[in-house]
Chains A and B, each alone.
Chain A
Amino acid sequence: MRKGQAEIFGLIIIVILLIFALLFFVKTKQSDDSSVTLRSSFRANNLMNAIMDVNLGGNGNPSLKELMKDCIESSSVSSGDCLSSNGNLTEIFGKTLLPSEKYEFTGSRSFNDPNPLINLGSGNCPEGITASPFYLPGDYVFQLKLCY
């Protein structure tokens, strides 16, 4: 092997090292996000409070909690109240959560109802932050879970 060939080998090694360093830098740089999503119950509780208070506008300016209560009372997923409350809830989650964030929202007349009448979300949510359950007179209970 000539001296020139050995130098070429050296150069190749340096180039490879530089490529790896560059790849590593790019990878590190990409993960530096400018916005953060908190894994905190505070956020889930805030959202739950906001949902329960909001007035929807229109005729009589009903609040969403009244609409959800009427939905559960009607005992039919296809009732007008349920369709309206589910539509509003889906829109609210779409506007307040990030597209990548998943959630589970349930509304029923008992805490551990296996088939809650209001049941929205992506389903598969083994881990997440749960907001404090919201109770309304008449044993109505609403629960929200933001998934990781």
Chain B
Amino acid sequence: MRRALLKKGQLEIGITMMVLLVFFILLIIALVVYFQFSLKTIEENRQEILDTKFSTLVNSITSLPEIKCSTRGAERECLDAKKLIAFGKVLRDNQNYRQDYLDDFGILGLEIEVVYPPLLNIQDTDCVGYLNPTPDNCNKFKLIENDRDEGLVYSTPVSLYYPKEGIYKIGRLAITAEVK
């Protein structure tokens, strides 16, 4: 009699455990599905925040008179290669200025790469540190190098103007920034 009761109790415990197991599995599946939806919403929000942050940032940086093209004070929608070199040199020689820009804009890195027309046999040649930079011998303007090797990178195409030669090229402006 006692043994039979014990067996019945064991069986019920087994059934309860199986039910619990199925319940937990269903719960986990439901949680995963729920979090997938939440994740999608969070990613959408993240994208919106990044859109706003980086759009403002890029707009501010490309509008800096230090690097923007201008003819007799009238600004144009392009970046001046000569100004980029001069600006890059100033930032390298004066760490205080560099720090001011980093703090003001909240960025970690800033560089412009010439992408079109492509320069044959030239890769990663920094125009700022080059002795005699021309449109044909260097393809990068490393204005602020990212020392911390972190942050999000956003890039946008820009028009690059070489005033001495009077030609335009297409560049890629890459901004590395923290997302706070």
Residues of A within 8 A of B (CB): 1-2, 6, 9, 12-13, 16-17, 20, 23-24, 27-28, 31, 34-40, 42-43, 46-47, 49-51, 53-57, 61, 63, 91-92, 95-96
Contact = CB atoms under 8 A, between A and B. Distances in A.
A96 B115 contact: yes
Chain A contact residues: over half helix, strand or loop, or mixed?
helix
A96 B157 contact: yes
Contact of B116 (A2, A36, A42, A96): A96
Interface of B: 10-11, 13-14, 17, 20-21, 24-25, 28, 32, 35-36, 39, 43, 47, 50-51, 54-55, 58-59, 62, 77-78, 115-118, 152-159, 161, 167-172
A27 to B, nearest CB: 8
A16 B29 CA distance: 11
B43 A13 contact: no
B12 to A, nearest CB: 9
B151 to A, nearest CB: 8
Contact of A31 (B21, B28, B43): B43
Contacts of A54: 116-117, 159, 168-170
Contacts of A27: 36, 39
B14 A1 contact: yes
